[in-house]
Amino acid sequence: METTRAGRPRLTERRRPGSTAREEILDAAGELFTTRGYASTSTRAIAEAVGIRQASLYHYFKTKDELLSALLHQTVTPTLAFLSDLHTDDPSAAQCLHALAAFDGAQLLTSRWNLGALYLLPELREARLATFWTERERLRLAYLELSREILTSTGVADDAADLPFRLVESLVNMWSRPPQPDYATLAGHVGDACLRVLGITDDALAALRIGTGDYLARFEPVW
């Protein structure tokens, strides 16, 4: 059960989605970082957007870097969990990559705020985000390993191995508010594109789409 400190009451009624103050703070930070910019957003502005005192915000996040790190983790942690679930079935590399790209793409497209756009922040290289960079690299290497395994059978040049990861990340440029109603279809198209650039034919994609649908339904994604 969430508790509050004596002497630090809310300034207003709850105004953000979320079951805890921490979730509300992250929602406000996500909105302000992606609309005003990271450097232009103060912790005071975030606290005011939630309706709490600035001192109360520091109970959950000591710095803006901590807030940024928590938001960035939301862009990779669910996908890594989904990938772990995939591995329990040991699907083919092509099936695994298609499902991974579709899930990852849908996560980016349906985020309440365009958190993937935070990757483009110039401050990202300076902020203390070691744990996020570690997780993102794990995800990138997973894409790369699957891509290279596929390339051994298709004969496409190894230079293409990094393209699927980049294709999925490009979806941050297609995010809209509210989320696009047909996001699942768009994410599926990206999954198709990831395999086409590796040399997988359209004939093979039909079966992969069915398998991906089964995996997404089983995992019960949160979007």
% of the chain at pLDDT higher than 70: 88
Per-residue pLDDT band at 126 (split at 50, 70, 90): confident
Give the pLDDT mean for 7-14.
53
pLDDT one-digit tens code per residue, 18-33: 678 999 999 999 999 9
CA distances from 115 to 160, 182, 202 (A): 26, 19, 32
* pLDDT surpasses 80 at 222: no
pLDDT one-digit tens code per residue, 32-83: 999 999 999 999 999 999 999 999 999 999 999 999 999 999 999 999 999 9
Rounded-to-integer distance, Cα 95 and Cα 197, Å: 15
Per-residue pLDDT band at 151 (split at 50, 70, 90): very high
Q: Which amino acid is at 122?
A: P
Q: In this structure, what DSSP letter does residue 116 have?
A: G
